[in-house]
Each structure stands twice: as C-alpha cells, then as structure tokens.
Amino acid sequence: MTKTIKSTIVTLAASAVLFLTVFMTTGYVSASANEVCDHVYVATEIAATCTEQGYTLYTCTECGDEKKDNYTEAKGHNYTETAVAATCTTAAYTLYSCADCGHTYTEQTENAKGHTFEVVVVPNTCTHKGYTTHFCIVCGYEYSDNYTDELGHDYKEKEIAPTCTERGYTEHTCEVCGDVYFDNYIDALEHNYEEVITEPTCLEGGYTTYTCATCGDEYIADYTEPNGHAYTETVNAATCVTYGYTDHVCNDCGDRFVTDYVAPKGHKYLDVLVPATPESLGYTRHICVDCNYSFLSDYVTSGDDGYIPEPEEPVIPEIHKHTYELQVQDDSQNMSLLVMRVCACGDVKNGYFAVTFTNDEGNVTESKETGNKIDYSEMYGQVIITLADENGEQLKTVVVTAKEKPVEPTEPDTPVVPDEPSEPTNPDEPTEPTTPDEPNVPDEPTTPNEPNVPDEPNADVTETENSGNGVAIALFVILVVLAVGGVAGFIILRKSRRRKH
C-alpha cells in the first residue's frame, strides 16, 4: 500500500511540472501569434490515464498553435493480485497487474522449498554399469552418481548330444543374467530304423513298421492286400433230435458261418418187451437204433391186484466202497495229459502227482501238479512223463509227442539270375487247306426193262414184283442224295473251321 501512495505522488508531481511547462510555452507563443494570426482553435479532450493527467487540447487550425486547460487528475493504477506458490527452485510471490494499462510488479512472499530426493540404487550387471539415481518426488528432477563398472558374463557350458534329426552343440549360459549362445556344432546322426513286419490277415492288409532304435521315430510302409478267408467246410449230419448243417470255418482267423441246414431225422425205435415177474414190473423198452436214446412204457404186473408184494424182511443193500483206478488219456491237440482217478460207480477223485519229464535229449524236469491236467506244451520232441503219488510210489509212465523244435534259419543261397528270355520267332503262316475234290455223283439209275406179262392166272404175283422193284429204286436214289449232301456238308464244315483257325 505504501508503494501505491508513493507512485501516485510521483505521478502527480510529474503532471504539475508538465502543466507549468506547457502553460508558459503556450502564453508566450500566443502572445507572439496574436500579433500575426487570428487563431481559430479546435478543442480535443485528452482523457486521463493511470499516470498522466487528462485535459482539453486546443489546436489552431490556421497556424497550429496549441493550448491546454481543464486538467483532470491521473486515475492511478488499478492493480489485480495473483499469488504464485513456491517450487523446489523458485520463491513464492504476489504478482500485481494493472487491469487498465498492463503495468506489473512482484513482491516475494516465500523462499524456494528445495528438492525432496528419493534415492534409487541400480546395481551393475554383466553388460551395464551400476549407479545411484536421485529423483525428486515433487518436481521430477533427477541426477545420477556413484557409478560402478559392469561385471562381465560368467558362462557355464552344457553339451547337447546330436539326435537323429537335430545337430549337437555346446550351450553357454551365463549364471548371472541368463544370456545364452551356442557353438561347437555336430552333425545330426540320422535314423537307425528297425523293421517289424505285420502279416496280412483275412480282412486286414499287412504292412511293415519302421521304428528308429535311437529316437523312437516310426512310420509304416510296404502295405500288402488282405489274404481273404480260407474256409474249411465240415458237414455235420443231422441226428435224431438235432439239425444237420455245414460249418464253414476260416483256417486262419476262425471266422465261421453255417449253411445247408437239415431237419432232425427223429428217433427210430426198436421195441423190446420185458415181461413181468413176481418180483418186478414188466414194461416195454423203446430204444432208438441210431442214438441209443430209450424210454419205458406199458408197465404191467404179474399179480391180480396190480401191486408187487413187499418182501417180509427188508433187503439191506451192501455198502459200496470206492475203488479208484488211474485213468490216463493224451490230449495231443492241447498238449496236455488228462489224469483222473475213477471209481467203477463213476465217482472221480482228484489228487496230488509228482511229475517227471524226460525229453529226447535226456534232460529231466520235475514238478508237482494237482488237478487232472498235466501240461507239456513247452516241451519239444518225444517226452517221457512219469507219474508218482504223494508217497513217491510210481503210478504210470506215458510217452507223448510234444511240438517240434524250431529249426535255426540258414542263410538262403544266392538266387541264380535267369538268362534274358530270347525273343520268340514268329510262327509260320498257316497254309491254306486244300479244297477236297467234289464227290462223284452217281449215275442216274437205269430204268428196268418192262417185265414180261405173265398169263392171267399169275397177274397178282407180277403186280407185286413190279411194285417191289419200284420201291427199291426209290430208296436207292434217296440214299445216294443223302450221301452226296453229307459229303458236301462235311467239306463245308471243314472249310469254315479252318478259316476260323
């Protein structure tokens, strides 16, 4: 406020000096001009400014003489205030700006605040220096110092072996920053394929699978067509109660279908009459002569009352004691020996057997078996099987034929390459068959002489003889014509066949 008053006083003083100067100058000029010019003045209003007085300016239109009066005070500045805050590097101040003339000045209100730094330490790496960065969190100004040298890489080597499709190499990896580079390349190995042949079946084709023994890569090639079924037909005859049919079974895959069904024949019975006795019923046994099926009917008794009398004393049946015998049967198809202990009543007993196998080379193998099957499918050639019980007592010795021992394959001889086949010579052109001579046509038969006319009584006989001769001549002519036609047809047939050939 003090500065404003001082500025106003200075402005008024300057205005007073200017007024006195103009007044004195105008009075003098006017005095001189009055002597020579009748002034014609034009008035111009000059408005007061912030620092200058306002007045009325009179200017002579004849000689240009000027004079002023009606002075008004200077208005003084019309300041507006704007506060500017302090920053990290500049002080705070108030800006005064005159709204009328634009005059400005400032007054400081606060000192600069200074930077507020946050320190960030950047460590050195294999390829970059380390340093400390000072960052002002208020204005963003930053600078760096405390630099350290880069570390350099610390590589570790790793050998990568070549594969069938990829090169081998040495891998260098920095343990600090992970940087990687490669060198010492080795060529790829290429595949080492092994072949596995899948034979064709009846419905599916065969092929060869090639598998690399090194990396396992696999592909399939060399396809072959399916074999198709090879059926064996087995005719199963109809029985008394079952259908007959033809069974078609493929020898390779076991595929099966049935055709040619035949209805069952039905039983053909033989009737056997068994008469009744005082102790038993009588009946008729019907036995099928084809399948031995039987049934009983027509029961009769010997007594009048139709019942078999009960015995006075009950019959106590004897207690059956099992007596088992060892039964042995070779199942060569399944390469097993069927062994059973069977009683005459049909009861079967399974037990323990000590088994000794002796092959045709004299090698002995021992085993212990329970049940009713002794397997020898893993043996070769003639095998002697000796059976003993749990006490070591020898029960039976059986000779069986096991599977044939496989023969080691030999290297096949180098096949003889046949000579190149010679070019066949062209066959001679067939000669044209000679035309047979035309058959001789027999001469016309001569007309027979008229027979002598006999006497009247022999008229009947003569007529019969004349008619017989005429028939004979006609038959002869017909035979000759048929013979000529047959010969001609035969010749024509021969010619047509030769032309075809």
Residue 403's pLDDT band (boundaries 50, 70, 90)?
confident
10-24, 69-83, 224-238, 357-371: lowest mean pLDDT where?
10-24
CB burial of 438-476 (b: ≥16 within 10 Å; e: otherwise) equals eeeeeeeeeeeeeeeeeeeeeeeeeeeeeeeeeeeeeee
Give bridge partners of residue 284 from the DSSP assignment.
273, 297
What one-letter code names the amino acid at 95? L
More confident residue, 16 or 29: 16
Please write the tens of the pLDDT for every residue from 179-225.
999 999 999 988 999 999 999 999 999 999 999 998 889 999 999 99
Tokens of 295: 């049934």
| Strand ranges of the sheet holding 256-262, from the earlier edge strand across to the other edge | 231-236, 244-250, 256-262
Is residue 183 within 8 Å of residue 167, measured between CB atoms? no
Residue 15's pLDDT band (boundaries 50, 70, 90)?
low
HEC string of 412-474 equals CCCCCCCCCCCCCCCCCCCCCCCCCCCCCCCCCCCCCCCCCCCCHHHHHHHHHHHHHHHHHHH
CA distance 249 to 368: 38
Residue 351: phi and psi, rounded to 5, are -155, -160
More confident residue, 501 or 63: 63
Which residue, among 145, 96, 102, 98, has the nearest Cα to 122 in the 3D structure? Answer: 145
Is residue 129 within 8 Å of residue 149, measured between CB atoms? yes
> Does residue 248 carry a pLDDT above 80?
yes
Residue 90: phi and psi, rounded to 5, are -125, 150
- The reported pLDDT for the residue numbered 9 is 57
CA distance 414 to 392: 57
- The reported pLDDT for the residue numbered 409 is 67
> Does residue 167 carry a pLDDT above 80?
yes
- The reported pLDDT for the residue numbered 279 is 77
Tokens of 150: 């880069």
Residue 462's pLDDT band (boundaries 50, 70, 90)?
very low
- How many helices (H) and strands (E) in the chain? 2, 29
Average pLDDT over residues 37-42: 88
CA distance 18 to 49: 15
Average pLDDT over residues 244-249: 95
117-121, 155-159, 182-186, 299-303: lowest mean pLDDT where?
299-303
CA distance 362 to 162: 53
> Does residue 334 carry a pLDDT above 90?
no
> Does residue 22 carry a pLDDT above 90?
no
**Mode of pairing for the β-strands spanning 130-136 and 218-224:** unpaired
More confident residue, 292 or 486: 292
Average pLDDT over residues 357-382: 85
Average pLDDT over residues 355-367: 87
| DSSP 3-state of 79 | strand
Residue 329's pLDDT band (boundaries 50, 70, 90)?
confident
More confident residue, 470 or 87: 87
| DSSP 3-state of 53 | coil
* Contacts of residue 441, Cβ cutoff 8 Å, sequence gap at least 6: 484
The whole-chain average pLDDT of the chain stands at 77
Assessment of whether the complete model's pTM goes beyond 0.75: no
More confident residue, 51 or 18: 51
| Alpha-carbon separation of residue 480 from 96, 383, 437, 444 (angstroms) | 166, 87, 17, 10
CA angle 11, 13, 19 (to 5 degrees): 105
Please write the tens of the pLDDT for every residue from 339-352.
877 776 667 776 78
CA distance 30 to 64: 11
User: Exposed/middle/buried for 187, CB within 10 Å: 0-12, 13-18, 19+?
Assistant: exposed
Average pLDDT over residues 419-430: 51
118-122, 243-247, 317-321, 456-460: lowest mean pLDDT where?
456-460
CA distance 54 to 70: 8
Is residue 202 within 8 Å of residue 227, measured between CB atoms? yes
Please write the tens of the pLDDT for every residue from 74-114.
888 888 989 998 899 898 999 999 988 888 989 888 898 88
Tokens of 298: 């027509």
- The percent of residues above 70 in pLDDT, for the chain, comes to 69
- The reported pLDDT for the residue numbered 33 is 42
| DSSP 3-state of 403 | strand
- The percent of residues above 90 in pLDDT, for the chain, comes to 31
- The residue with tokens 């493929």 is 250
More confident residue, 118 or 411: 118
Average pLDDT over residues 302-321: 61
